[in-house]
Structure formats: structure tokens, C-alpha cells
């Protein structure tokens, strides 16, 4: 299941968030159980240079994962850009999950501010992972600006509704074949992750579905298996869906077939 993203070899196509877990210990165990190599964290909520974030940061360092800081709770390009620069200094990484929220109700990204922020951060040397909708024109614009990794939502953050617009997601995969596509937001159960990987998406980012599960550690293992199954299915090649039934057992060579055919003609 190895794949390369931003010139970095990863062993897992599952990215995990670090919010909402019952405890830091359960968060740590769930991440280990998932096999994830990339974990996301909010700069504005958990800063390791502040006393309140020291314990949290210690847990993250012990995981030996790549940190993907995000600009959560930013509502304009200027704030997101400032937060991204803080993240680069704090976490010592040029990776940034760029979030610029436009609507507080469904946490939908603001496409206009997102494009402005992405362009500036790319100029500043960041590897930008933009959280975006599944709109083809927006994703094409971000790609043209230099975003080689795109993170379209499956459905609004934290809803667990899964991939509510498979057509749009399939279109992105077909029209942006060279882009690294990661489904971000809305995944509620392992089968949603499998579906995304079966469609050819490179990875998924999951947080609430694991952190809010009855047993986050077990759920993390379930998502790990789901991602592996989805990728293997995609590489194997899925059978096409059909409108009509087709027998799985051939009739040629079936015992008594010819006798039955003769009887039917009498």
C-alpha cells in the first residue's frame, strides 16, 4: 500500500485527525493501530510552544508520524496565510492543510479566499493541501496554481454521510489524473473509505468517525483494513455494473443441456 506524496514515501493511505478523542492515550493508541503515517492537527487549538499544548505535542512526537498542520477556524485568506506561517515555524514542516471556511453552518470552504491563500502560500514555498469542495472548476484552478494534492470533501465535516456526490468525485479523478486526490471530510464508516479508494482516490482523511466511535482503537484498525481493501480492488480492476443479469455459470458443457434443448423444440 506504499505511495508517494509530496516526495515522501508513505506506507498507509489513511490519514488521521487528532481531535475529539476521549483521551490523549486513546488517540495515540488509535493512530498506532491505524498504521497511519500522516496525522493532522490544528495550529490554532494545539500549539506546542504554549503550555496547554505541551502534553499534546509530546504525544504527537512519540508517534513518529508526519505532521500535517491545518488552518482550521480561518475564515479569510489573510488569517489562513498567517496561520500557515506559524505552523511552519512551530512544526518545522512546509506541509499545510489549507482550510478557509466560508459558511459556519456546513463548514463549506470559501473557494475565492481559498484560491487567494493557496497562490500566496505556494509562492512562499509551502506544499499546500487545500481542503475544497468537489467542484471541478475550483479543483482545476487549484491544480493550475500548483497544488499537486487536492482534498475534496465527501460531505460536510463531521456529518458521516459519506460520498454524497460520487459522480462529481469520479469526474475529478478522471479529469485530474495526475493529481493526488484525498477525500477529506464526511467519511463516517469504513465502507465509505473503501468506496473512495475503489474509485481511484489516493487516500482518505478520517477524524470524527474514529475519534467518536465506541472503540476508537478498533475502529482505527477497521479503517486501515478498509483502505487496503479499496486500493487492492481498484488495482485489481472492478467488474462493470450491468442493468441485466448475466449467469456466472456458463451453460456450455452443462449436463443434459442438449437434451433439454431438444425437448423444448418438440
> How many Å apart are CA 128 and CA 37, to the nearest integer?
18
Please give the DSSP secondary-structure letter assigned to residue 204: E
What DSSP letter does each residue of 91-156 carry, written as one string?
H--SEEEE--B--TTT--B-HHHHHHHHHHHHHTT-EEEEEE-S-HHHHHHHHHHT--EEEE-SSS
Of 11, 97, 141, 189, the catalytic one is 97
Is residue 97 among the annotated active site residues? yes
The β-bridge relationship of strands 8-10 and 3-5 is antiparallel
Taking the mean position of all CA atoms in its chain, how far away is CA 252?
A: 46
* Beta carbons of 162 and 186 less than 8 angstroms apart: yes
Helix (H) or strand (E) holding 205: strand 203-206
Q: So which residues are the catalytic ones?
A: 97
Amino acid at each position: 500500500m506504499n505511495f508517494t506524496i509530496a516526495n515522501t514515501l508513505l506506507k498507509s493511505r489513511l490519514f488521521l485527525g487528532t481531535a475529539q478523542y476521549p483521551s490523549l492515550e486513546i488517540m495515540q493508541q488509535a493512530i498506532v493501530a491505524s498504521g497511519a503515517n500522516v496525522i493532522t492537527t490544528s495550529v490554532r487549538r494545539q500549539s506546542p510552544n504554549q503550555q496547554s499544548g505541551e502534553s499534546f505535542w509530546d504525544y504527537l512526537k512519540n508517534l513518529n508520524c508526519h505532521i500535517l498542520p491545518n488552518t482550521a477556524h480561518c475564515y479569510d485568506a489573510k488569517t489562513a496565510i498567517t496561520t500557515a506561517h506559524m505552523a511552519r515555524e512551530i512544526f518545522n514542516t512546509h506541509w499545510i492543510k489549507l482550510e478557509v471556511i466560508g459558511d459556519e453552518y456546513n463548514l463549506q470552504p470559501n473557494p475565492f479566499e481559498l484560491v487567494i491563500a493557496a497562490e500566496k502560500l505556494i509562492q512562499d514555498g509551502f506544499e499546500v493541501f487545500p481542503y475544497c469542495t468537489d467542484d471541478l472548476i475550483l479543483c482545476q484552478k487549484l491544480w493550475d496554481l500548483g497544488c499537486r494534492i487536492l482534498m475534496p470533501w465527501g460531505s460536510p465535516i463531521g456529518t458521516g454521510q459519506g460520498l454524497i456526490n460520487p459522480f462529481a468525485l469520479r469526474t475529478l479523478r478522471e479529469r485530474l489524473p495526475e493529481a493526488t486526490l484525498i477525500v477529506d471530510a464526511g467519511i463516517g464508516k469504513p465502507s465509505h473509505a473503501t468506496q473512495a479508494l475503489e474509485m481511484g482516490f489516493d487516500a482518505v482523511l478520517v477524524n470524527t468517525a474514529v475519534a467518536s466511535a465506541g472503540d476508537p482503537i478498533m475502529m482505527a484498525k477497521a479503517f486501515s483494513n478498509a483502505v487496503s481493501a479499496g486500493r487492492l480492488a481498484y488495482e485489481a480492476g472492478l467488474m462493470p455494473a450491468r442493468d441485466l443479469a448475466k449467469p456466472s455459470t456458463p451453460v456450455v458443457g452443462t449436463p443434459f443441456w442438449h437434451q433439454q434443448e431438444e425437448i423444448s423444440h418438440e
